[in-house]
């Protein structure tokens, strides 16, 4: 049975499988089946990389173009799910999103704290998993830097 509908990754991003062509949907089906039959992340990851690399190379795509495809992102997420299922990784939460935001848009945590009004000590505790930010505190801090909280479907 061909994958259909919408795929939601661990971060809540959605991919419409109808946007994949028939060959991509066939390969996705192979990845899903392989992950079910071989739940070891390393084994799946090696299989996925080789298959998807060859698949898109035959279409003339380079690595940068390949990793931008929805199929590559879905296949990678399947591997992430294997890590979570094995207990080697956690499902991303707001802390991982916050870390990504800081890493990609600010030179330092201090710069982020100055821009948002969150104390460095509090941020350290939050990112280490020892404390939580209240929703209104986080919302106000994000507003100061042009972001907002969003509720997404659970994967």
**pLDDT, tens only, 82-128:** 999 999 988 888 998 899 999 999 999 999 999 999 999 999 999 99
Half-sphere exposure of 67 (CA within 13 A, CB side): 3
Name the region of 60 (left: φ>0; alpha: ψ -120 to 50; beta: rest).
left
Q: Where do the domains of the chain lie?
A: 6-85, 94-144
- Cβ(20)–Cβ(71) under 8 Å? yes
Q: What are phi and psi of 99, to 5 degrees?
A: -60, -45
pTM (predicted TM-score): 0.71
């Amino acid at each position: 049975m061909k994958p259909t509908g919408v795929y939601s990754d661990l971060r809540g991003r959605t991919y419409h499988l109808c946007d994949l062509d028939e060959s991509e949907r066939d390969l996705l089906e192979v990845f899903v089946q392989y992950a079910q039959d071989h739940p070891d992340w390393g084994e799946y990851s090696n299989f996925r990389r080789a298959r998807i690399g060859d698949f898109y190379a035959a279409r003339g795509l380079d690595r940068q173009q390949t990793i931008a495809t929805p199929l590559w992102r879905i296949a990678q997420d399947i591997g992430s799910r294997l890590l979570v299922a094995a207990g080697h990784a956690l499902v991303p939460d707001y802390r991982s999103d916050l870390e990504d935001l800081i890493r990609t848009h600010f030179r330092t945590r201090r710069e982020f704290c100055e821009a948002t009004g969150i104390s460095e000590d509090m941020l350290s505790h939050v990112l280490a998993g020892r404390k939580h930010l209240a929703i209104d505190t986080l919302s106000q801090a994000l507003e100061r830097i042009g972001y907002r909280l969003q509720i997404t479907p659970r994967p």
